[in-house]
Amino acid sequence: MNTRHLVLASIATAALLQLSTPAGAQTAASTSPTAALRSERVITLSLANQIAAATVAACAANGHAVTATVVDRAGSVRAVHRADNAGPHTVDTSRAKAYTSASARNTTLAMMDNAQKNPAAANLVNIPGFLLLGGGVPIRVGNEVVGAVGVGGAPGGHLDEQCAVAALEQVKGQLQ
């Protein structure tokens, strides 16, 4: 066998060994399985619905017809509740606020204030899907953000945020 055939045989053998190794199997040089994977808390549909309903109810108690959207940590919608008489635009705005809050792991009101005061943060408005208006609040378990609630429809983002905070206060016992 010439050198070229030996190289090709070595490559083929290495490829076959790689293919025959079960997915996830560790080699001596690789890291432990616990370092490669992590556990995450996931907001359930039931809890997402409770938060959305409590948010709409908190705003209704103050005379505001709103939509509340709850998203998971990745910004995917888990629940949407739209009050009677809430404007059609409130569905999109509540989702965008929830997405923004989950993505940035901050309230959208704080982000809006920061963008207005800090020229470097002003470009946040150019991120696709971001909406820097008050009403997006992260859902936390300790320091971990597991999702966010976004509210649209009250006459001011600070009022939207108050409804979200009131709802999260109601379910705080389940966020442990």
pTM of this structure: 0.80
pLDDT category at 32 given cuts 50, 70, 90 is low
pLDDT category at 27 given cuts 50, 70, 90 is very low
Residues across the chain: 176
Residues of CATH 3.30.450.150 domain(s) within the chain? 45-174
Nearest to 164 by CA among 40, 23, 62, 27: 62
CATH architecture assigned to 45-174: 2-Layer Sandwich (3.30)
In whole numbers, what is the pLDDT of the chain averaged over residues?
A: 87
